[in-house]
Amino acid sequence: MPADVIPGAEGWALTGGPAGALVVHGFTGTPATVRPVAEALVDAGFTVAVPRLPGHGTAIADMVPTRFTDWSAAVEDAYVTLARSCSRVVVVGQSMGATLACRLAARHPEIAGVVAVNPLVEPVDPELKELVQLLLDAGEVVGDGTGRDLADPNATDIAYRGSPLAAALSLYEALDDLRPELARIACPVLIITSAEDHVVPPRNSDSLAALVHGPVERLRLERSYHVATLDHDKDLLAARSVAFVRRVTA
């Protein structure tokens, strides 16, 4: 039986206006990671859905058997549900959440726009994949996590501190297949990038900007690290996201 959901990490949805926003958290994170931008969209009158990805927000053992296909299927289901009640939908994602958002937009040309916060889109070093596979072959299940990548000492992210290895490997393999899909994204894209990121190199944002075919808007955050949705620039990030969603859904 799955472990209880960690308080504050639940997925949620709130009904607002006819336009909607699907907000997706990242690898080992929870809906709490993206809550400030999601709440700003609710306050702006949008219908907002923030799913909790399978295996996340409970106990790390629940994430061990999950794979990228599970997370992408959950995002697909959340989008289909949201689109039933909204005339236009924008997808907002942080880190792997942006990976999932881009994949969704590539497969649903009706999506009105994408907000990608410190997106992970580039294939990882083959040596990293080999290392993860060696650890799995040796019987390891959970490896070291990315740690707390927040510049604000008072900010807290509800996330697992370890990294389920097979789940991570499934993400790395999915990135190998993502590049040709990015070229199918024709909707407007807002790419928000932290100048200093210790988890996802900022060059991922440059790659995304170069590969999509839709109009691209960029925002550089000077005071935040990887989890920018909770960091010093979270209010700026939320305000620019709201303005973007308003514009592309008008």
Which of 62, 163, 194, 226 is labelled catalytic? 226
Angle, vertex CA 194, rays to CA 247 and CA 51, nearest 5: 60
DSSP state of 3: P
Q: Is 25 considered catalytic here?
A: no
Which of 95, 163, 194, 205 is labelled catalytic? 95
CA-CA distances (angstroms) from residue 56 to 9, 39, 53, 68?
Answer: 8, 20, 6, 12
Q: Burial of 148 by CB count in 10 Å (0-12 exposed, 13-18 middle, 19+ buried)?
A: middle
Backbone angles phi, psi at 98, to 5 degrees: -70, -35
DSSP state of 91: E
Distance in angstroms (rounded) separating the CA atoms of residues 27 and 179 = 19
Which of 62, 149, 157, 197 is labelled catalytic? 197
Q: Is 95 considered catalytic here?
A: yes
Q: Is 149 considered catalytic here?
A: no
Q: Burial of 2 by CB count in 10 Å (0-12 exposed, 13-18 middle, 19+ buried)?
A: exposed
Distance in angstroms (rounded) separating the CA atoms of residues 219 and 223 = 12
Catalytic positions, written as ranges = 95, 197, 226
